[in-house]
Amino acid sequence: MDVGEDSTEFLTKLRPFVREFLKEASKMFTMYAYTMGSRDYAKALVELIDPTGVYFEDRVITKEDNPYAKTLDLVLAEERGVVIVDDTASVWTHHKSNLVEISKYNYFRDNGPQGSKPYSEEKSDESESDGGLANVLKLLKEVHSGFFRVKKDQLESQDVRLLLKGINFKLVKQDP
């Protein structure tokens, strides 16, 4: 993947189940790509995972939009209806109750947890049926179902933050 005017090159390994995850999640949610990376990086990554623009369209937010922390102030939706999926909780200082923290995906040796080997060195990969994305998709389906389980006139009082708090759902943090 080439990024930016300097043509910095990155070797990118897509997380298993990412395309299926995007397809299924997009049926329930309007999705944004949000990164603390540069706009060039975000553009290259979104083109890789969403080449036809069907999932994110132009909904991409980068550090150029807010360099200090991630915020829902830049997302065109009410906070009560937004679920955040991110592998770094610390960047969401004001919206932790909207956050579902997914396990980091460390395929290559780089910045994985101390004492753990990346998937590439284990000669394996994250499970498509029980890995981070599969587990988050299960949670998203439960939240979506719970949000719309009420009568139409009660939708105004629904809040994903309360649903997330109430769902006793354990995401499996899988280390290689």
Q: Which amino acid is at 91?
A: V
In this predicted structure, what is the pLDDT of residue 143?
96
Element (H, E) at 47: helix 39-49
> Where in the chain are the domains?
18-104+117-166
Provide the β-strand partners of residue 61: 34
* DSSP assignments along 91-105, one per residue: G-SS-GGGEEEPPP-
Cα(141)–Cα(129) distance, rounded to whole angstroms?
15
* DSSP assignments along 93-150, one per residue: SS-GGGEEEPPP---SSSSPPTT---HHHHT----TTTSHHHHHHHHHHHHHHHHTSS
Ranges under pLDDT 70 in the chain? 1-7, 110-116, 118, 120-121, 123-124, 168-176
In this predicted structure, what is the pLDDT of residue 174?
37
Domain 18-104+117-166 fold: Rossmann fold (3.40.50)
Hey, is 36 helix, strand or coil?
coil
Please compute, for residue 111, the number of CA atoms within 13 A of its CA located in the half-sphere on the CB side.
4
141's tokens: 């389906």
Q: Express each pLDDT in 56-103 by its tens digit.
A: 999 999 999 999 999 999 999 999 999 999 999 999 999 999 999 998
Cα(175)–Cα(126) distance, rounded to whole angstroms?
9
Find out whether 101 and 160 touch, Cβ atoms under 8 Å: no
In this predicted structure, what is the pLDDT of residue 162?
94
Any idea what DSSP says for residue 90? Answer: G
pTM: 0.84
